Structures are given as C-alpha cells and as structure tokens.
Structure 1
Amino acid sequence: MDTIEYTSQQKNRIRLAVSLFYFSQGLAFSSWASRIPTIKQSLGISEGQLGTLLLLMPIGQLCTMALSGRLVAKYGSRKVLRIVVLIYPAILCCIGLAQNFYQLAAALFFFGVIGNMCNISVNTQGVEVEKVYGKSIMSSFHGAWSIAGFTGALIGLLMMNLNINTFYHFLIIYGLIVLNWFINNQYILSSVSVKQTEKKSLFSKPESTLIQLGVIGFLSMATEGAMFDWSGVYFQDIVKAPENLVVVGYASFMVMMATGRFIGDYFISKYGKQRIMQVSGLLMSSGLLISVFFPNFFICVIAFMMVGLGVACNVPTVYSVAGKSTKVNAGVALATVSSVSFLGFLMGPPLIGYIAELFDLRYSYAVFACFGLIMIVMVGRMKVFK
C-alpha cells in the first residue's frame, strides 16, 4: 500500500472510489438476478435446468479461489481490480446475448470466475483503505454492495416495464460501470506484499486461523443465503401472510442488513470486533428462534429484522481480520476465508430445503439458529478478535 500520509480529503476521496467499485460489482450481479425470470422464459429453460445454471456461477467462483488470491498477491489488488471490473460487466452483456442453454452456461461460469476475482481484489482494497484510516470501515463498503442490490433490482424492474430487452439493459449497466472506472480508478490504492520465508504452492495448507475465520463466515453466509432464498416461502407457508405481503419478510431482512452495514463500523470502533460479533450471533439465533416459536406476521417481521442486523457485520469483519494477516498476503488470506465462507452461501439454501422436506420449514430455521450460538463460542475463543 502507498506509504504516504493522506489528508482527510484524500482519505474520503479514496474511500468513495473504493465504495463505488463495491457498488459496481453489486450492480452487475443484481442486474443479472433481476432478469433471471425473463431469461428463463425467453430461452425456454425448465426449473431443473435453471437450478443447474445457478450452480455454475458458484462453481466458477470456487474453482478459481486459490488462483484469484495468487493473482492479487503477485500483481496487487489495484492492477487486478482495474482489469476485472471491466471484464465482469462485459460477461454480463454476454449473458444477455446467450441464445441457448449451453451459451448461457458458459457465460455464467465465467461470470462466477471473474466475479470472484472482483470480490478478492475489491475486498483487498477495502482492507488497505482500513489501514489508511486506522479504524474499521469494511462494513460500510459491504453496505455499498447491498445498496447496489436494491438499485439493480429497481433498474431491472424499470427496464422490464419499458420493454427494454436484456442485452440493452446489461449494456446500459456496462456503460455505467465503465463511467465509474474512468472517474475513480486513479484513486484506488497500490498494494503491499507480505514477505514470506518460503514459496508456497498454489494449494498449500492454509493457516488454521484463516480456516476458523472461514467457518465463522460459513455460518453467517449460510444463514444469509437461507434468508435470501427461503424468507418468502417461510412467510407464505408458515406465517400464512397475504400474497401481496409475502415479500415483506425478505424486505425487512434486507433493509436491516444494509442498515447494519452502514452503522456497524461505528459500533465496532466503539465496542470492539469480538463483542459486536457475539451480539450479532445472538441476534441471528434469537431472530430465527422467535420466528419458529411465534409465526405471527408482525412478530416475524421484527424477527427477520433481527436476523438481518445479526448477519450484517459478520462477513465484512471476518474479511477485515483476514486481510490484516501478518503471515499471508491479504489477497491469499481473503481467498482462503472466502472459499470456506462462500460454501455456506452455496450449501445453506439446499440444506434448509432438505430439512424442510424431512420435517418442516420451522425445524430448518431452528437448526440454523444454532449457527449463531456456535459463532458466539468461536469468536470468544479466537485471539484475533480480542
């Protein structure tokens, strides 16, 4: 990272630039998500085929986790981010051009590959900006990603109402991201490498602390993924909410998660990472258990808000701690933690479904409530949070 002193104005400009790169990545991803029904219908894809397609993106991410970390370690997050942030929306446009299942499958796989490179490089930037500030600001960066999710969904809705086809919609998004690149790429920071005494192979055994951080991320992201995919079903089948209010459960969770990310840095600076992470675990568990035992509409809205607040700061904090590793380059550390964490996002929703199939959706949520309690114990035992 640059070894110079920055004025307050320069720090704020760097922070804004990095926030907008987080926003760009979130905008590209949410734009794809907003047009999934349209693409499914236009290509005549079945539910089973769609399930297979949706798996290709995380498979692409997982296949290149180690490579992404090594690229960031070797060339620096600045160089990698400046390249991949332009490739990512270009592949988004390829998704819009897909004419059949196989073309879409290939585009989604590479969307996952480049998305992962964006993820590692932009989070490494976030860690380095934290070093410039000397305090926790990672949650606000992830808050920018969350806001991009809302923005992308709203733009997608507008494009559908205006009958603009998917390719031109994605081309507009590409233009916005390119504009952001021209305005802000000069403000992202250069990286510094951590000196290592021995050269490690691409698939060398990771540090145990990083694995533990990844497990905490896994528990949080499994809960987050379950809420993304199953909150609407829970409000429909368990809460018995009116059809026009089914979305309230998902919305209440998302609003509080985004809010929590913008206020999280203040509370982390004031009370410390360990205490906030343990309170987060308690909120996750309490919210899920309340929704299990009291499946009333208004109570569940509050419960889902608690869960949203509970998951808000976990992954940003885990990434922040991993990126400050003194033994491993920040890019490699983030790749390791992301690998384990993202498995939670991938495995959480299917696990909910399997438990619900055997028993009931309420049992699924009760099992996931244990994740917050496990997180509390793990955070309490790890020195990196103290």
Structure 2
Amino acid sequence: MTNNETHTLMKSRIAISAIFFCYGLIFSSWAARIPTVQEKFDLSETELGTLLLMLPIGSFISLPLAGLLVAKWNSKLITQIAINLYLISLLLIGLSNNVYLLAFVLFFFGMMGNMVNIAINTQAVTLEKNYGRNIMASFHGMWSLAGFAGATIGAYMIGTDVLLKYHYAIVVVAGVIAAWISFNWLLKNDQEEGEEKPVFALPDKGLILLGVIAFCSMMAEGTMFDWSGVYFRKVVNAPEKWIGLGYTAFMISMAGTRFLADNFTKKYGIKNVIRVSGLFTVSGLLLSILFPYFITSIIGFFIVGIGVSSVIPLVFSAAGRTKTMSSGVALASISTMGFFGFLLGPPLIGFLAGWMNLQLSFSFIALMGLAVVILAGKIKTD
C-alpha cells in the first residue's frame, strides 16, 4: 500500500469516525433530556414508554427503505441525506409543543437514526476491508465518546435550566459543521463489483446466536440511555442537577472500555470477554436495584457501562469473519438485530414500570445480561 493510499484511507477513517460521533451525539442529546420531556408533558412511566415506542416503530418502517436506497445509490449519499435529516429531527423534538406532535417527530427521528446506522456501518465495513484488519471497535468507540459528550452537555443543560430547544439548536449547529466537513472524505464506492448490499439477510445458526447476543446487550444499552436520568430522579431521588451523573458514569466506562476491547480479546478470546461482559452487566444492575442510593447507583451504572462496552464491537468482528456469507451482509444482519434491541428496550421498561415499578423493571435488563453470559458459551469463533 502506497503512502498516498494510506493517507486516503486515514482521511476516510477520520471522516467516518466523525459521522459516528455526530450520530452518537444526536442520540445521546435526546436521551439525556428524556427526564425533561417527561416533566414537560407530565407523562407517567407508561405514557413515556408508549412515547418512546415511536422510535423503534420508525426504525422498523425505515428498514426496507434504507436497504433499498443504500443498494440503489451508495452509502455515502444516504449518509449525507440521513445525518442532515437526523439533525433536523432533533431540533424539531425541542420545538414540539404537544405530545402528539412529539410522537410524530420521534417516529421520524427513529427512521432517520436507522438510516444513518445502516449507511455509516456500510461505510465502516467497506473501509475495514480496505484496511485488511479489524477497526470496527474504534468507530463504535467514537459513538460512545459522543454519548459521553452528549450526557455531559445534557447534565449541564439540565443543571442550568437551559430550554430544550436552545440545547438542541447548539448541538445541531455543531453537528452540521462537523458532518459537512466530513462528507468530502467518505468512501464513494462501498461495493465490490457484483456485490449486493442488502440491509438484512437471513443468517445461519452461528450468526443468529451473535444476533441474539447483540439484541440482549443493546437492549440493556438502550435502557441505560433512555431511563438512567429517570431512574436517578424517581428511584435514587438524586438532586435535580445531579440526575445526569448516572448516565455520565455509564458513558464514561463504556467509552473507555470499548477502546480496550481488541486487546482483551486477543489475550482472552471473544467468548470469555463477552461472558465476563455479561457478568458485569448483571452485577452492575443488581447493585443499582438492591442498593438504590446515589453513590452505589453511580458505581452500578459505571459497571454496567463496562459490561455492555465490548459486546457489540466483538460481535460485529465475529460476524465479519463468517465464511457463510460476505462480511458486509453478515454485519448488516447483526447490526439490525442489535439495533432493534437498542430501541425496543426503553419502551418495554416503560410498560414494565407501569405494571410493577421502575426499580423492579430494571431486573428484566439484568436478565438480558445473564442471557449474554449463557449465550457466550455457545460461540464457536475462538
């Protein structure tokens, strides 16, 4: 590989990383202010769960459309369109003045989020092939760093009583600038000659196993994103200006640990790392449920962040090495299954909280961590 080729790949890697960061910042900016939305519209946990259900519905509706558009044109164009519309939808969330309008906007928000997810992961898969080595974890690490940034900014905005629309306007302006600069270096061709790029393909048993693991882990991750602030307000009874600290602790540990995933896997193997990750998820959630106090809950959420951090990059890496189908198709399948878990977890917690209470509903997510532990033992990639 020549110096020019290496330089070009590096610029593309930076550009794709920037889009992942924007993607994560947009979603985390929304997630960090969910308690604000609940308070603004005076929603119960069940009503909030119903509202949050609009995101996975939008995502589900967009799946065939996103696949068709990426296959017909290319992931660069779809990334450009989707990230801009995703930013606009975030701004519209802040401007929504009634719950029905907000529900429609969240439906659109879910659609655009999945569009970005599919398009930018297609870019990442293609670049990984060009590099000839696994770099997927670094992209997901950037998404996690953005989550930490969004959580920190959100906590500050809540603590200083900044209105939602002003908070989101700042994020949108920053996102537009970063995204438009990055567009110049996204990959123009994301397909090998004659290769199709379906968004979803029916995987074999090994890939189904990886998909279920991704689903369970991302269900826990999505719940932490959407319900951390509410948990600290309703269960922990944290002071208003500190309700974002649990979410921040979760994001710090997830972002930091994700960059270490490849080294740990090289030393201990994917099966062991995923199994231990599930144990961290279970133990962190149990600590927060059994001892719902300020310090113990922060520690618990920090531990959960460690638990969910490595699972998705490692599952993606294992799926990319499958011999039964192209790595791009396999990764698209696993990504879709995991993303559904990410979006379905939060509304499910809302329904369970309405039936029981929010504290007990988190025990369901602990069961998802336990499922990861059990299923990891069946992986046959080491």
Q: TM-score if structure 2 supplies the norm length?
A: 0.79
The residue aligned with 2:174 is 176
**Partners of 1:250 and 1:233 in 2: CA distance:** 10
State the SS of the aligned residue for 1:64.
helix
Q: 1:282 aligns with which of 271, 279, 288?
A: 279
**Partners of 1:108 and 1:39 in 2: CA distance:** 12
Contact 1:72 1:332 in 2 (8 A): no
1:213-256 CA-partner distances (Å, limit 9, x unpaired): 22101111222234445556766787787887765544433321
Deviation of residue 103 (structure 1)?
Answer: 3.1
Q: 1:322 aligns with which of 312, 319, 323?
A: 319
**Partners of 2:94 and 2:293 in 1: CA distance:** 41
The residue aligned with 1:143 is 141
The residue aligned with 1:86 is 84
* Cα distance change, pair 184–318 in 1 and its aligned pair in 2 (3 A): same
Q: 2:23 aligns with which of 22, 25, 28?
A: 25
Contact 1:127 1:324 in 2 (8 A): no
**Partners of 1:194 and 1:324 in 2: CA distance:** 20
1:191 aligns to 2:197 (yes or no)? no
The residue correspondences of 1:64-83 to structure 2 (distance < 5 A) are 64-83=62-81
The residue aligned with 2:102 is 104
Deviation of residue 314 (structure 1)?
Answer: 0.9
**Partners of 2:230 and 2:106 in 1: CA distance:** 26
Contact 2:151 2:247 in 1 (8 A): no
State the SS of the aligned residue for 2:190.
coil
**Partners of 2:158 and 2:245 in 1: CA distance:** 22
The residue aligned with 1:14 is 12
State the SS of the aligned residue for 1:135.
coil
* Cα distance change, pair 179–134 in 1 and its aligned pair in 2 (3 A): same
Q: Which moved more, 1:359-368 or 1:313-322?
A: 359-368
* Cα distance change, pair 21–262 in 1 and its aligned pair in 2 (3 A): same
1:125 aligns to 2:135 (yes or no)? no
The residue aligned with 2:258 is 261
* Cα distance change, pair 328–301 in 1 and its aligned pair in 2 (3 A): same
**Partners of 1:202 and 1:344 in 2: CA distance:** 16
Contact 2:32 2:225 in 1 (8 A): no
**Partners of 1:358 and 1:38 in 2: CA distance:** 23
Contact 1:120 1:331 in 2 (8 A): no
Output the amino acid matched with 2:310: C
Contact 1:77 1:331 in 2 (8 A): no
Output the amino acid matched with 1:191: D
The residue aligned with 1:212 is 209
Contact 1:352 1:365 in 2 (8 A): yes
Deviation of residue 112 (structure 1)?
Answer: 1.0
Deviation of residue 330 (structure 1)?
Answer: 5.7
The residue aligned with 1:341 is 338
Contact 2:34 2:230 in 1 (8 A): no
State the SS of the aligned residue for 1:191.
coil
Contact 1:127 1:320 in 2 (8 A): no
Contact 2:154 2:244 in 1 (8 A): no
State the SS of the aligned residue for 1:284.
helix
**Partners of 2:130 and 2:197 in 1: CA distance:** 29
Contact 1:194 1:326 in 2 (8 A): no
Amino-acid identity (%): 44
The residue correspondences of 1:215-364 to structure 2 (distance < 5 A) are 215-229=212-226, 248-289=245-286, 301-323=298-320, 328=325, 332-349=329-346
What CA RMSD, in Å, does the superposition of the two structures yield over aligned residues?
Answer: 4.0
The residue correspondences of 1:47-58 to structure 2 (distance < 5 A) are 47=44, 50-58=48-56
Contact 1:69 1:333 in 2 (8 A): no
Q: Which moved more, 1:317-326 or 1:50-59?
A: 317-326
Contact 1:69 1:332 in 2 (8 A): no
**Partners of 1:224 and 1:292 in 2: CA distance:** 16
* Cα distance change, pair 188–346 in 1 and its aligned pair in 2 (3 A): closer
**Partners of 1:216 and 1:223 in 2: CA distance:** 11
Deviation of residue 311 (structure 1)?
Answer: 0.6
Contact 2:55 2:343 in 1 (8 A): no
Contact 2:229 2:244 in 1 (8 A): yes
**Partners of 1:158 and 1:237 in 2: CA distance:** 19
Deviation of residue 93 (structure 1)?
Answer: 2.9
Alignment length, in residue pairs?
380
The structure whose Rg is larger is: 1
1:146-192 CA-partner distances (Å, limit 9, x unpaired): 22223334445666788876545444433322322332222222312
Deviation of residue 145 (structure 1)?
Answer: 1.7
Output the amino acid matched with 1:78: K
**Partners of 1:244 and 1:117 in 2: CA distance:** 34
Contact 2:159 2:240 in 1 (8 A): no
State the SS of the aligned residue for 2:255.
helix
Q: Which moved more, 1:157-166 or 1:185-194?
A: 157-166
The residue aligned with 2:377 is 380
Contact 1:73 1:330 in 2 (8 A): no
Output the amino acid matched with 2:271: Q
**Unaligned residue ranges in structure 1 (runs of 5+):** none
Contact 2:235 2:292 in 1 (8 A): yes
